[in-house]
Amino acid sequence: MRLGHFDMNLLLALDALLDTESVTLAAQRLNMGQSAMSSALGRLRDHFGDELLAKSGRSLDLTPFAISLKGPVQDALIAVRQAVTVRQPFDPASAQRGFEIRASDYLVSSLLTKLMQQLAQEAPGINLSIADLSDDLAEEVNRGKIDLVIGNEDYLVENHPREFLYRDESVAVVDSANPLVGSSVDLPTFLAMEHVAVRIGTAQTRQHEAWLLGGRELKRRIAVTVSRFNALPQFIVGSHRIGMTHRRHAEWWSRHFPLRIVTLPFEVTPIGVHMQWNRNFDQDPAHAWLRDKIRGAIAG
């Protein structure tokens, strides 16, 4: 297929080359021979009058023009895939479909488990694949590889729809039998207690607790550091330790573990939780239905 002077069969090759920055990896992705991919790169270079991939030592780097092509090429491919998909009227009761969602594990517990209970009754053929917020989140959204991101503004990307869902305040949790505090804690006691801290991110460099503390430089005794919110209860139950999370999560925990919610001794700006999706999914009836079910799970 040709559009003007451009062979549309080259679009997939161009996308793979822009994404992998490698002739070898691009060929592997498309199950092509390396010589065929090299030939495709040559034709693309001729068409655009640009090297696209330029040698840099022993590797290849995208040229500035190639970088400018990444977004438009990704959008074009997503639009083409949607255009050639025959859309039947969406019936959740009979639909067979999977959705890819990225969310913090505290949202998995406090929100998505409730959503799955509803889907089991109303849409048994709908499957959710839920994974952590990753370092390559922006790329996944831009390429339409995932359906939804649910998290705070730090994880959202530009140029795609987003919707505010709710605000949540920071609280602390302790064992329900902890004698050191009641329903609140004063600052000296808070600082003297042993803490369970959460560090999130694959590099373990982003300490979410810094946000929960409202940016305050407070010296605490951190006894345990975990990489997931849902690991907090097992290190708090049966101890005198304290940990911080968000109220919705703490309320969910308190229904499943012997934990008590404690008011913090300082003010923290509530977190804003949003959902975001690739703009090409705006008019997808199934996608719109899923977004509506998430709104309902929050309101309920």
Task: Identify the band that residue 152 occupies on the pLDDT scale cut at 50, 70 and 90.
Answer: confident
pTM: 0.69
| The 3-state secondary structure of the chain, one letter per residue | CEECCEECCHHHHHHHHHHHCCHHHHHHHCCCCHHHHHHHHHHHHHHHCCCCEEEECCEEEECHHHHHHHHHHHHHHHHHHHHHCCCCCCCCCCCCEEEEEEECHHHHHHHHHHHHHHHHHHCCCEEEEEECCCCCHHHHHHCCCCCEEEECHHHCCCCCCEEEEEEECEEEEEECCCCCCCCECCHHHHHHCEEEEEEECCCCCEEHHHHHCCCCCCCCEEEEEECCHHHHHHHHCCCCCEEEEEHHHHHHHHCCCCEEEEECCCCCCCEEEEEECCHHHCCCHHHHHHHHHHHHHHHC
Residue labelled with tokens 């003297």:
192
Task: Identify the band that residue 209 occupies on the pLDDT scale cut at 50, 70 and 90.
Answer: low
Architecture of domain 2-84 in this structure: Orthogonal Bundle (1.10)
Task: Identify the band that residue 13 occupies on the pLDDT scale cut at 50, 70 and 90.
Answer: confident
User: Is 170-269 in CATH node 3.40.718.10?
Assistant: no
Are the folds of 97-167+272-299 and 170-269 the same?
A: yes
Q: Does 289 have pLDDT greater than 70?
A: yes
User: Where exactly are the structural domains of the chain?
Assistant: 2-84, 97-167+272-299, 170-269
pLDDT at 83: 61
Instruction: List the CATH code of the domain at 97-167+272-299.
Output: 3.40.190.10
Q: Does 201 have pLDDT greater than 80?
A: no
Task: Identify the band that residue 216 occupies on the pLDDT scale cut at 50, 70 and 90.
Answer: low
Most confident of 8-17, 112-121, 128-137: 112-121
pLDDT at 219: 81
Task: Identify the band that residue 29 occupies on the pLDDT scale cut at 50, 70 and 90.
Answer: confident
Q: What is the pLDDT of residues 90-104, one digit of tens each?
A: 899 998 889 999 988
Give the residue-averaged pLDDT of 134-150. Answer: 84
Q: Does 1 have pLDDT greater than 60?
A: no
Q: Does 208 have pLDDT greater than 60?
A: no
Give the residue-averaged pLDDT of 231-256. Answer: 93
pLDDT at 71: 79
